[in-house]
């Protein structure tokens, strides 16, 4: 992000362009929520500001040798609730939304994200258009999400889905902050450090 780049420059940390390297040693991300057993996480739930991009964020994470997610204790849980963003082609967005809704019928609603104003199923008069020219649909779950991996698999089968906010790169670690301190957990249960 621009803020992170500015802070790095102030601290004297050299910056490089993503296109100039195909390898990243270490990446960290403050994900929106993370599944306790698997460390599969969700990004992009918050309204995007400026040039942020789910596509670019996932590209950076996928290129990293080591990946660490940072969350608070209430973001690290079983029985996840909330929404998952889905980046879709803008053309025929309504048909894509209906196709996304089919596997989750009764468990979720699919709304197009607005750029301003309040959200509604059609995205209002000013739907969000990403820097890549796509729309974002929010799959808003009305019951707990049983498996993020299954949700990601269902989304990837839909024509017109460009990307989604589920991150499942392995191996990874999570740093979980609570009032009692920090816990470090990796996605191999026998290697958990600390308790949450």
What integer pLDDT is reported at residue 4 of this predicted model?
A: 79
Give the tens place of pLDDT for each residue, 137-186.
999 999 899 899 999 999 999 999 999 999 987 778 999 999 999 999 98
What integer pLDDT is reported at residue 105 of this predicted model?
A: 80
Q: CA-CA distance, 78 to 179, in Å (whole number)?
A: 20
* pTM recorded for the entire structure: 0.84
**For residues 114-136, average pLDDT:** 83
pLDDT at 190 over 50: no
Residue 1 vs residue 178, higher pLDDT: 178
pLDDT at 135 over 60: yes
Q: CA-CA distance, 123 to 116, in Å (whole number)?
A: 9
Q: CA-CA distance, 23 to 121, in Å (whole number)?
A: 40
What integer pLDDT is reported at residue 191 of this predicted model?
A: 40
Q: CA-CA distance, 32 to 80, in Å (whole number)?
A: 11
Task: Kindly provide the b/e burial profile for residues 173-191, where b requires at least 16 CB atoms within 10 angstroms of the residue's own CB.
Answer: bbbbeeeeeebebbbeeee
Would you list the domain boundaries of the chain? 25-186
Give the tens place of pLDDT for each residue, 7-42.
989 999 988 777 666 678 888 888 999 998 889 999
What integer pLDDT is reported at residue 20 of this predicted model?
A: 63
C-alpha distances out from residue 167 to 59, 66, 156, Å: 10, 14, 13
What integer pLDDT is reported at residue 193 of this predicted model?
A: 40
pLDDT at 192 over 50: no
Give the tens place of pLDDT for each residue, 45-95.
876 655 568 998 898 888 888 899 999 999 998 888 889 999 999 889 999
| Assigned architecture for domain 25-186 | 2-Layer Sandwich (3.30)
What integer pLDDT is reported at residue 188 of this predicted model?
A: 58
């Amino acid at each position: 992000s621009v803020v992170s780049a500015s802070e790095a420059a102030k601290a004297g940390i050299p910056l490089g362009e993503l296109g100039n390297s195909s390898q990243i040693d270490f990446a960290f991300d403050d994900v929106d929520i993370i599944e306790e057993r698997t460390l599969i996480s969700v990004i992009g739930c918050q309204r995007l500001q400026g040039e942020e991009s789910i596509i670019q964020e996932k590209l950076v994470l996928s290129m990293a040798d080591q990946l660490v997610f940072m969350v608070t204790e209430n973001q690290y849980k079983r029985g996840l609730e909330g929404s998952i963003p889905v980046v879709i082609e803008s053309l025929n967005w309504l048909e894509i939304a209906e196709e996304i809704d089919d596997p989750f019928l009764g468990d979720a609603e699919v709304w197009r994200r607005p750029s301003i104003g309040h959200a509604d199923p059609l995205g209002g008069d000013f739907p969000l258009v990403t820097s890549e020219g796509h729309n974002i649909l929010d799959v808003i779950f009305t019951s707990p999400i049983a498996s993020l991996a299954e949700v990601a698999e269902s989304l990837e089968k839909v024509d017109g889905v460009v990307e989604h906010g589920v991150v499942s790169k392995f191996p990874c670690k999570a740093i979980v902050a609570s009032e009692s301190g920090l816990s470090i957990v990796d996605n191999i249960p026998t290697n958990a450090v600390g308790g949450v």
